[in-house]
Amino acid sequence: MASQSLETKPGHASSSTVPILLLKTRSTPSDAYEEALKAAQPKNGPPGRRFDPQFVPVLRHRLNDSGIQKTRSLLQANEIGDRPGCKYGGMIFTSQRAVEAFAKVVNGERERSGRRPFLQNTPIYSVGPATTRALSAIQVEPPLQIFGQHTGSGEALAAYILEHYGHWYRDREVRPPLLFLVGEQRRDVIPRVLMNPSLPRGESVIVDEEVVYGTGLMESFSDEFQSVLSDTQHESERWVVVFSPTGCDTMLRGLGLLNESDGRVDLERRDGKTFIATIGPTTRACLVTRFGFEPDVCADSPSPDGILHGITKFTTSRA
């Protein structure tokens, strides 16, 4: 029996809906993927057919007390800002969980010391719209100055930071380091690009990563995924959208695709109506290299529009 964390309880078979199983926790107070999918219409099937987004949480998150305390100490000592002598001249965020950890620090400091300014005139870099919305919701005066939300990927954000950060501190011979709040599992794209030794003198930026949260597989994921698969088994088409390499093996096993002898996908076991989309290249690479499986769609950008575009392009090509 699935727990109440399944945000939308699926009904029985119906040709009027296309289930989209989103392997993530629903964002609050609203979820951009849910809103975009509900507003869109599938390109195949009868008029009036709709996407039916359903959430199956995969990851459990826990705050890293050590990283949070270090971040708190930096704020208390005014070590993050555009003033000469500050340890960090800006911050980078690429996940909502890191923003949640940071918000906890900021809110605690505001309660402790009153409504004193935080990070005024300090560039805050965000990888996309969801992370940007979470940052914008942090109640500080003056509001955080957030940049890069249009980039959509770590590679694009790093390239943007090189140009924007250089202009922000154009009067300094050496750009101050950036503080990057991260989870235990992350890619090294942004630090690698910004600290590339082949960059011209003075253009590289030191990036210090501070781990503020950890992730692990939610114990209920396997049972909840099996439940929603059972409830949608009679639909003529359904999608599984994968947001992280964590849980990919459980997902593939739940779909009956894994060969237990070698841990690779047996393509002959596919049912012809269940399709898999990944939010970006990291998760796609995990499926390809670890399981020998090429997903049906890899979103061009890690966003609702990226997923919708990929699904639409795929279904149109099969029509």
Provide the token pair at 302: 């890690």
Provide the token pair at 183: 């989870």
Residuewise pLDDT in 10s, the chain (319 residues): 333 344 444 444 445 889 999 999 888 778 889 999 999 988 766 677 899 999 999 988 889 999 999 999 999 999 999 998 899 999 999 988 899 999 999 988 777 766 566 788 899 999 888 889 889 999 888 899 999 998 878 889 999 999 999 999 999 988 999 999 999 877 788 999 999 999 988 899 999 999 999 888 888 999 999 999 999 999 999 999 999 888 899 999 999 999 989 999 999 999 999 999 999 888 999 999 999 999 999 998 888 999 999 999 999 888 7
Any idea which residue has 């309880």 for tokens?
9
Closest CA to 154 of 131, 177, 135: 131
User: What number does CATH give the domain 63-214?
Assistant: 3.40.50.10090
Reply yes or no: is the peptide bond before residue 29 cis, omega within 30 of 0. Answer: yes
d(CA 319, CA 311): 12
Residue 53: per-residue pLDDT? 96
Residues 6+ apart with CB under 8 A from 249: 258, 263, 290, 291
Return the amino acid letter for 234.
H
Residue 11: per-residue pLDDT? 41
d(CA 286, CA 57): 19
Residues 6+ apart with CB under 8 A from 107: 138, 139
Class of domain 17-58+218-318: alpha beta
Domain with CATH 3.40.50.10090 in the chain: 17-58+218-318, 63-214
H helices of the chain, in order, are 32-39, 65-76, 96-113, 129-136, 154-168, 189-194, 221-231, 248-254, 281-291, 304-318
